[in-house]
A and B are shown apart, each in its own frame.
Chain A
């Protein structure tokens, strides 16, 4: 079974530029999550999708971050404009359904803002 795929693996941009990350969850997984993991900290949830609808985006900085999951499969997370403090690893995870006892994480995209 293929895992959660994310791209790119690494990205370096200058502050005030925009960037987008892509996630392809495990086939059949209805629930998708984006997390931000700053160096030395645990992952923090940004947004949760159920199919193509947003379930929880209360921790997403909406002035600069946006996310979508068209057609309920792939998802993109965008930052515009980026700030230095956005440097982090962005993790995507998926689970079969909201009540699942296990979630599967991708390898993440490491973003460096200079």
Chain B
């Protein structure tokens, strides 16, 4: 079945540091890929998405590129802020772009210190 593997956390960075959170996936077809963010006390929010190979999703300074050859969708940000402290989830949806029916990774907790 489908699966998503995220780098284990927690990740602690200083403000303005470069962020990479690794995500790899296993899927039988051609999935759509997503990054969600969960701030403390809040629900999951879609951060960015990519629906086909080589697409780059971007939002709020975060980027991720859909790499079919390496089955990866790594999240990056050039300069993190304290407000980026949250849990980040990589997810995929199989076949069509049915974003609500997704398989999630186990999340990576990011803490940014001033």
A and B: bona fide binding partners: yes
Query: Is A88 in the interface zone, CB < 8 Å from B?
Result: no
| Secondary structure type dominating chain A contacts | loop
Which B residues fall within an 8 A CB radius of A? 4, 32, 36, 41-46, 49, 51, 89, 91, 96-107
Determine which of B4, B100, B105 lies in contact with A33 in the assembled complex, contact meaning CB atoms within 8 Å: B100
| Secondary structure type dominating chain B contacts | loop
Across the A-B interface, the 4 shortest Cβ-Cβ residue pairs: A42-B104, A103-B100, A105-B44, A105-B43
A interface residue count range (under 10 / 10 to 19 / 20 to 34 / 35 or more): 20 to 34
Given that A103-B46, A103-B102 are contacting pairs, would A42 and B91 also be in contact in the complex, using a CB cutoff of 8 Å? yes
Contacts A40-B107, A42-B106, A101-B51 known; 11 new A-B pairs at CB < 8 A = A33-B100, A41-B106, A41-B107, A42-B107, A45-B103, A56-B101, A93-B100, A100-B98, A102-B99, A103-B46, A104-B46
